[in-house]
Structure formats: C-alpha cells, structure tokens
A and B are shown apart, each in its own frame.
Chain A
C-alpha cells in the first residue's frame, strides 16, 4: 500500500528536480517499488492482450463490465461504439504520455530543444495516433495511424490491410501511397538531414512513451560493451525476420490475386530480386559510405543475400511459396513473440528494470533501418566541444540507449552511432556543456575549422 501511495505521489508531483537521488529511490534503482511496478505493468499487458475478459470486456456481444465499461462513454463520444480493449489501451497510453509529458516539460523548461521535442511527441500521439484514427473510424473509413510506418507497423503489407485500403476508394488509395512514401521516400530524406531522431524522439509513439513515462528510468539502460553486442545480435535479426515475413505474405497475396492490381505477381518478383541484387552489389563494391562495416558484417550480408537470392529463385521456379515459408505461421509467430511479448510486455513492462528503451534499442526493426541510415548517410552527429570533457559519466549514465557517450567525449570524438535517438539528454546533463546535437554542415574537419 505504501508503495502504491508513494508511486501516485510521485506521478502527481510536478516539482522541478534533476536526477538527484535516482539511485537512492526504490522506484528508480531497481528496488522493491521498481520491481512491483514492473510486475504490475507486465501483468497489465498480459491481461489486456490475452485475457481482456478479466478486465470486463463483454464476450460474444455482451455489454462491457468493470474496468473496460468505464471507458464506454468516452469511446461512444469518439467513434460511436462501446469500448474495446484496444480503445482502452490507446486512451490510457495517450493519457499517460500527456501527463508525464507535461511533467517532463516542466523538468526541462529551460531547454527549448526538450520543450519543443516533447510538444511534438504529445501532438503526434494525441492527434495522429489517437484522435485522427478515431475520426476515420467514425466516418466509416479505414483507421490508420498516419505516422506509424512499415516495418514498425508490420501489418501494413498484410493482405487484409492491403485489401481494406484498396477497397476504400480514393481515401484508401491515399493511405496506401502515404504509407509507401513514408517508408521509402519521406523517412530516408528526413533521416539524411536530421538523423533518426526526427522519428524516434519527435514522432514515434513508442518513443513518446519512453521519453515521457520512461524518463525516470533512463539511467537503467545497460551501457556496457556486452549490452551493445546483444543489441546488434537481436535488432538486426528482428529486421531480417520482419522483411522475410512481409515478403512471404506479399507472395501469398499475389499468389491468390495474381493480376487484380497494377502490380502483377511477375512485377513483384522482379522488384524483389532487383532489390536483393542491389543490396548484394552494394556490399560487394562497398567503397565510401559502407566503409564502417566490419569484414564479418560485410560477408554476412553478401552470403546471406546470395543464399536468399538463390532460394527465392528456386522456390519460385518450382512454383512454391517464397523460400517455402509458411506465411501464416510466421505471421502468427511474429505477432505473438515480437508484437505482443517483446514490444509490449518486455518493452514497457521492463521500464523499471532495464530502462525505457528496451524495445527501441534491442527490437524495433524501424529503429534498425533508420539506424543504418543514420550511421552511414546522415548529417546528424553529437559534437564534442574540444577537450572539455571531465569524464564524469553523466552522459553515459543518462543515455537511454545505453551508448557509452563518455568513451567518445573524453577522446574528443564526435558521436555517430546507429542507436542514438537524439533525445539530447546527454547534452543537457553534461556539467561542462561539452555536447551538442548537430546536423548542419561540418564545422570542424580534420582539426580545421570550416565556416
């Protein structure tokens, strides 16, 4: 009871306090309160995903009761029907981002970057993720979160989504093109100019929760080399699997509907093979911007690409599902293990244990793609102000992505890391003002200053 009281007291407190004492507080030092909160959150996700009836969701057309019924009137106001478990989830998610976002803004009110960034997160969550989809639904149009793009939105290319969009007239068509443009045009261009932060810490909903509700737990992200190793071992396979899944589902979609749309099955086959060949070619002739990849990484990409290329050609020439994958099975598997368990239960439930960005750091395929872009072709970097680092460790401790910022700063090296989401907290907590997020043209190059 006391821990619940303490928790609510802290949630409501709007006092401006820096990170003083976080390692003394049972909530934020993996103490008993932190563990209780982690259990509560994880259990909450499990009930919501798998046992919504425990929360009072009406079964087989029966009216809602209990917890879910509290939200019926709000749901009716927005979209005309009683609350579903997903409405309750979206509503609470948005509410927590708003409340904790206000707390965050008050805490960092002297830093315009933090204030504007957080306002952006609140805006996109409230309007794009919550209100606009509800309006779309109430107008009997397909509801879509306009900022949620593939591959984070892994069902964008699922057959039911494509069918829904293509059968909803011009509006559906617009959504289809918007989604494609977002992934293949808008996001690479913005990432080139601003780094992945334009999405991860300005727009994204997962980022929105991490930056606001997760802020008190950011120092719990492990910043050891081992953690970095595991980060790479998990996030790229997730990206690979989501690509494979999308390929398999599109394959089965085209197999069932061979020539209903402008893009036919054979167009699709050619596009996929060209795409793969392009990736292999880039890895083979990697001069210039692919320099940073290790030999092992390079050969992994090349050999994997070749195996896939051959496999795809073989399976298609025997008129089998691409790579003999059971698309439905894979989809089910991904939705359960990655969509529900990883991004939900672990991603949010483990905030008080592993920091606020577990999902973004170890799992999110979107973050992986944007990260590759950020690492190899983006102007974004964190610059270090001369030799002024005093190696205190605030930057590394408060990096939510577990980047050992200090190890670069004390050598005077700029920080260009694929995982950096550009939250700017390292620059904020630095007691000597040594760090600055920048995406302008380079000022200092090879020790010479360029104006």
Chain B
C-alpha cells in the first residue's frame, strides 16, 4: 500500500502523522516548498528575530526518517488517476494506491498584472519570507494591501524594523468583513493607536513601474498616488488547485469533496485549504482556509483513508483565534458579522482597555450560539459544551467564570456581562 500526499503543510503532515500511528503503509509526501515542515503562521517571528527557522519546525527534523515517511522535493506536473500515478517535474513517476491532495492555498491576486512587476509580492510561503528578508534593507516606503491577519502581521514586522509603510484596506474598518461592528471598531482604534498610516475604504487601481519593471508608486480609487518601492499584497487566499488542471478530478473554487473528504475519484482524497465542500453544513463556508480546519481534516483523512466504510467527517464546532499586534482574538461557534434573524447578543467592552466579550444567542429560543472575545481568553472545551448542548443564555451567563482562560490574577468581567444582560431584559 502506497499513499502519496501532495503538500507538506499542516494538512498533509496531519494526514501522514495520523496514518503512521495506525499503519505501516508506505507514505510519500511531495512538496515544492521546503524539505522542512515549518509552522506557516510562525514565519513572521523568524523575520522579527524572535525565533530562528529551526525553532519553528514543529517536529524534530529526524522525525520523517525515523517514521519512514519519505519527503520528495519536487513539483507535481501531472496526475493520472487512471494509471494511479503522479508525474513530478523531474520526470520521475510515483505510483499510488491512495492519493491525498493537501496543496493548501495561494494568495489572491489583485488582477492588476502585479505578478509581472518586481517589488510586488505576497507574504505566505518560505520563499516569500526569504524574498522579504532580502529586500528589507533597501525598502524606502512599503505598502501593505489588504486588511486581514497577514496584513497586520506585516504591519507589526515593518513597524518593529522601522520600515515606513502605508496600510491600504478596502473595508470601512479593519476586520469589518469578519468581525461585528463594535469589535471591528475596537481593533481599528487599537491599530490607529500604533500610529500606523492606515487608509480605509481604498481600492488599488494600478501600479507604476520604472523601466526596470520595478514598482515605483501605486494609485487608489480616491485619486491618491503614493510613492512606494515595495508592495505586499495580502487580500486573502484561495485554494491551490493549479496542479489539478487537465485532470478529471472535479474542482470549482477548490477540490470538490463529499462527506468523507473524497473527491469524485474514490482513491483520491483532499484535506485542508484546497478543499471545497460540495454541501457545506449550516453556517459554514464551502471553503475554510484555516490552520485548525486543515489539521482536523488531515487527522480525519489519516484515520479513515484505509477504511472501507469510513464515517463521515464532522466539521465540529467552529473556532478560530488570531493576534493583532498584542491584541488577542478568539471566536467559538456562530458569531455573525451583522445581525441576523432572531439575533440576540450580550456585548461588553472594557471602558479603558482593549477588551471585549460578545455572547450570541437565539432571541426566540434563548439558545447560546457562540461568542467572540478580544483581549480575553476563553476555554474552548467549555464554550463547545455550551454550544453542543444548546445551553440557555442565562445558564451560560451564570457559568461564565468556568470559561475563563486568562492567566492567574487577571481581572474578571463576568459580573459586567450579567448586568448588561439583566438591564436588557428589563
């Protein structure tokens, strides 16, 4: 039995690790990025000098050899599902019994032909980091395009290394496409307090380049023209399905999979950012490009790929977390960006500090649906229990102290939330 995994990110690695725990099958991982499995979200810390590259490797470097997992550094040229083989760019051929596509995602493009302008890049892969490290010394003024997590990371990186930059964001506030308004405002004010040049409601219309093809300035739809010799485009990611062109594997935005993460070809599975659910469950997107989702899917595929009748994949209760400079953010369950039908919410914000808690519930049934917190830590197991067992919001408010995950001696805010809820009821 030979299992080939395309992709050496968290999804592919989770498949290999979980599979190795239960089987002696031959496992080969194909990657074109790096022979070392590194933590992608940690690339920024290497740039910051907080960690060295060897520190962001989640597993000891001899793990692969010790566990008889072959890692091949090559790009995939073609997949032939009839002959069950993968052709690599060095023209070698890998035969497989089962194939896992875990190719992850690639940065979205602005569609301004920026791929042909030098000095315009994304910040996503190890190669991007090396390129940025090389360019950093000579940057006079940088531009960050896109108000997402990577944009904030870049802002932190540039700020700490003293590179002047402008931060271009399409939305009205930072995060208003994934946070409720109050939270988005809180984060926006927090970012503004860092004395960053942020410009909201801006779309980039075109770049200017000199005769060498090097970027010199950019223009926004407001008629602004800003001189810049380095641009980072981070307006989100999309599934990486380039290597699936000219195959008979069905794709739309991503690799289409059934409830068992199987593609239309039974011996081929997919996991991670590249996946698109044919039928997403309620309240979830069909493409979920998250570390946690990739890990969960990878572990599922690793456990089930050798079974004849696998159980369906459970997405579990949604959760995510992030950090904007020093401001931590966590979300559990269903927290809509704007009020929906029967939307009930208890929202508390610290009068001075950058902290907030929001509990979302169904105003008719009083069922707890989810919560999101800024500057506060909640306990995942507890939140998931409340959501899964459909607790009433009043019970959740009384049990709120059990969800606290802040470090010892931290200030507590449970009573404030209870008071806000009680005031609302009266």
Which secondary structure dominates where chain B touches chain A?
Answer: mixed
Q: Which residue of A lies closest to B377 (CB)?
A: A433
Whether, in the assembled complex, A75 has its beta carbon less than 8 Å from a beta carbon of chain B, the answer is: no
Point out the residues of chain A lying under 8 angstroms from B45, CB to CB: 392-394
CA of A269 to CA of B50, assembled, Å: 55
Contact of A390 among B42, B52, B57, B409 (CB under 8 A): B42
Q: Are A392 and B409 in contact (CB under 8 A)?
A: no
Q: Are B407 and A432 in contact (CB under 8 A)?
A: no
Q: Which among B79-87, B116-124, B163-171, B378-386 touches the partner chain?
A: B378-386
Whether, in the assembled complex, B208 has its beta carbon less than 8 Å from a beta carbon of chain A, the answer is: no
Q: Are A393 and B56 in contact (CB under 8 A)?
A: yes
Given contacts A385-B405, A406-B58, A436-B407, contact A392 B41 (CB under 8 A): yes
Q: Are B399 and A444 in contact (CB under 8 A)?
A: no
Binary per-residue interface labels of chain B (395-410) against chain A in the complex, 1 for a CB within 8 Å, 0 otherwise: 0000100100111111
Q: Which residue of A lies closest to B160 (CB)?
A: A20
Q: How many A-B residue pairs have CB under 8 A?
A: 118
Q: Are B49 and A24 in contact (CB under 8 A)?
A: yes
Q: Which among A108-116, A245-253, A328-336 touches the partner chain?
A: A108-116
Q: Are A386 and B381 in contact (CB under 8 A)?
A: yes
CA of A24 to CA of B49, assembled, Å: 6
CA of A451 to CA of B321, assembled, Å: 25
Contact of B51 among A394, A443, A449 (CB under 8 A): A394
Whether, in the assembled complex, A61 has its beta carbon less than 8 Å from a beta carbon of chain B, the answer is: no
Q: Are A20 and B323 in contact (CB under 8 A)?
A: no
Q: Are B50 and A20 in contact (CB under 8 A)?
A: yes
Binary per-residue interface labels of chain B (51-79) against chain A in the complex, 1 for a CB within 8 Å, 0 otherwise: 11001111010000000000000000000
Q: Are A387 and B160 in contact (CB under 8 A)?
A: no
Point out the residues of chain A lying under 8 angstroms from B408, CB to CB: 112-113, 424, 437
Point out the residues of chain A lying under 8 angstroms from B42, CB to CB: 390-394
Point out the residues of chain A lying under 8 angstroms from B295, CB to CB: 387
Point out the residues of chain A lying under 8 angstroms from B405, CB to CB: 385, 433, 436
Q: Are A112 and B48 in contact (CB under 8 A)?
A: no
Q: Are B380 and A386 in contact (CB under 8 A)?
A: yes
How far is the CB of B401 from the nearest CB of chain A, in Å? 10
CA of A388 to CA of B399, assembled, Å: 22
How far is the CB of B105 from the nearest CB of chain A, in Å? 16
CA of A431 to CA of B323, assembled, Å: 6
Which residue of A392, A424, A427, A437 has the most chain B CB atoms within 10 A of its CB atom? A392
CA of A131 to CA of B117, assembled, Å: 68
How far is the CB of B426 from the nearest CB of chain A, in Å? 29
Point out the residues of chain B lying under 8 angstroms from A20, CB to CB: 48-50, 160
Binary per-residue interface labels of chain B (348-382) against chain A in the complex, 1 for a CB within 8 Å, 0 otherwise: 00000000000000000000000000000101111
Point out the residues of chain A lying under 8 angstroms from B328, CB to CB: 431-433
How far is the CB of B365 from the nearest CB of chain A, in Å? 23
Point out the residues of chain A lying under 8 angstroms from B330, CB to CB: 388, 433
Q: Are B49 and A113 in contact (CB under 8 A)?
A: no
Point out the residues of chain B lying under 8 angstroms from A443, CB to CB: 379, 381-382, 402
Whether, in the assembled complex, B319 has its beta carbon less than 8 Å from a beta carbon of chain A, the answer is: yes
How far is the CB of A445 from the nearest CB of chain B, in Å? 11
Point out the residues of chain B lying under 8 angstroms from A385, CB to CB: 377, 379-380, 405
Point out the residues of chain A lying under 8 angstroms from B160, CB to CB: 20-21
Whether, in the assembled complex, A396 has its beta carbon less than 8 Å from a beta carbon of chain B, the answer is: yes
Q: How large is the interface on A (under 10, 10 to 19, 20 to 34, 35 or more residues)?
A: 35 or more
Given contacts A22-B50, A393-B42, contact A388 B56 (CB under 8 A): no
Contact of A433 among B39, B51, B57, B321 (CB under 8 A): B321
Q: Are B380 and A112 in contact (CB under 8 A)?
A: no
Whether, in the assembled complex, B347 has its beta carbon less than 8 Å from a beta carbon of chain A, the answer is: no
Whether, in the assembled complex, B334 has its beta carbon less than 8 Å from a beta carbon of chain A, the answer is: no
Q: Are A393 and B57 in contact (CB under 8 A)?
A: yes
How far is the CB of B325 from the nearest CB of chain A, in Å? 10
CA of A386 to CA of B381, assembled, Å: 6
Point out the residues of chain A lying under 8 angstroms from B379, CB to CB: 385-386, 443
Q: Are B407 and A392 in contact (CB under 8 A)?
A: no
Point out the residues of chain A lying under 8 angstroms from B51, CB to CB: 23, 392-394, 397
Q: Are A387 and B407 in contact (CB under 8 A)?
A: no
Which residue of A23, A410, A428, A444 has the most chain B CB atoms within 10 A of its CB atom? A23
How far is the CB of A282 from the nearest CB of chain B, in Å? 32
Contact of B407 among A24, A111, A224, A406 (CB under 8 A): A111
Q: Are B399 and A451 in contact (CB under 8 A)?
A: yes
Point out the residues of chain A lying under 8 angstroms from B48, CB to CB: 20-21
Whether, in the assembled complex, B413 has its beta carbon less than 8 Å from a beta carbon of chain A, the answer is: no
Whether, in the assembled complex, A260 has its beta carbon less than 8 Å from a beta carbon of chain B, the answer is: no
CA of A432 to CA of B373, assembled, Å: 12
Q: Are A390 and B380 in contact (CB under 8 A)?
A: no
Q: Are B409 and A113 in contact (CB under 8 A)?
A: yes
Point out the residues of chain B lying under 8 angstroms from A444, CB to CB: 381
Q: Are B49 and A22 in contact (CB under 8 A)?
A: yes
Q: Are A424 and B41 in contact (CB under 8 A)?
A: no
Given contacts A390-B39, A392-B41, contact A225 B60 (CB under 8 A): yes
CA of A112 to CA of B407, assembled, Å: 8
Whether, in the assembled complex, B296 has its beta carbon less than 8 Å from a beta carbon of chain A, the answer is: yes
Whether, in the assembled complex, A9 has its beta carbon less than 8 Å from a beta carbon of chain B, the answer is: no
Point out the residues of chain A lying under 8 angstroms from B319, CB to CB: 386-388
Point out the residues of chain A lying under 8 angstroms from B377, CB to CB: 385, 433, 436
Q: Are A449 and B407 in contact (CB under 8 A)?
A: no
Whether, in the assembled complex, A8 has its beta carbon less than 8 Å from a beta carbon of chain B, the answer is: no
Q: Which residue of A lies closest to B323 (CB)?
A: A431
CA of A222 to CA of B185, assembled, Å: 42
Point out the residues of chain B lying under 8 angstroms from A428, CB to CB: 407
Q: Are B50 and A23 in contact (CB under 8 A)?
A: yes
Interface residue ranges of A247-291 to B (CB < 8 Å): none
Whether, in the assembled complex, B291 has its beta carbon less than 8 Å from a beta carbon of chain A, the answer is: yes
Whether, in the assembled complex, A294 has its beta carbon less than 8 Å from a beta carbon of chain B, the answer is: no
Point out the residues of chain B lying under 8 angstroms from A19, CB to CB: 50
CA of A410 to CA of B326, assembled, Å: 22
Whether, in the assembled complex, B292 has its beta carbon less than 8 Å from a beta carbon of chain A, the answer is: yes
Whether, in the assembled complex, A140 has its beta carbon less than 8 Å from a beta carbon of chain B, the answer is: no
How far is the CB of B160 from the nearest CB of chain A, in Å? 5
Whether, in the assembled complex, A18 has its beta carbon less than 8 Å from a beta carbon of chain B, the answer is: yes
Contact of A21 among B39, B49, B292 (CB under 8 A): B49
Contact of B39 among A25, A393, A436 (CB under 8 A): A393
Point out the residues of chain A lying under 8 angstroms from B322, CB to CB: 432
Point out the residues of chain B lying under 8 angstroms from A427, CB to CB: 407
Given contacts A391-B39, A449-B385, contact A432 B380 (CB under 8 A): no
Contact of A424 among B321, B399, B407 (CB under 8 A): B407
Point out the residues of chain A lying under 8 angstroms from B10, CB to CB: 391
Q: Are B50 and A390 in contact (CB under 8 A)?
A: no
Q: Are A388 and B39 in contact (CB under 8 A)?
A: no
How far is the CB of A420 from the nearest CB of chain B, in Å? 15
Q: Which residue of B lies closest to A451 (CB)?
A: B402
Which residue of B295, B296, B407 has the most chain A CB atoms within 10 A of its CB atom? B407
CA of A406 to CA of B37, assembled, Å: 14
Q: Are A432 and B323 in contact (CB under 8 A)?
A: yes
Q: Are B407 and A437 in contact (CB under 8 A)?
A: yes
The 4 closest A-B pairs by CB, nearest first: A386-B380, A392-B42, A391-B58, A112-B409
Q: List 13 A-B contacts (CB under 8 A).
A: A112-B410, A113-B408, A386-B379, A387-B296, A387-B319, A388-B319, A390-B41, A391-B42, A394-B42, A397-B50, A410-B58, A436-B405, A436-B407
Known: A390-B42, A393-B56. 20 other contacts (CB 8 A): A20-B48, A112-B410, A113-B407, A113-B409, A224-B60, A386-B379, A387-B319, A387-B380, A392-B42, A393-B42, A393-B51, A393-B58, A394-B45, A394-B50, A396-B55, A410-B58, A427-B407, A433-B377, A436-B407, A443-B402
Please report B residues at the A interface, Cβ cutoff 8 Å. 10, 39, 41-42, 45, 48-52, 55-58, 60, 160, 291-292, 295-296, 319, 321-323, 326, 328, 330, 377, 379-382, 384-385, 399, 402, 405-411
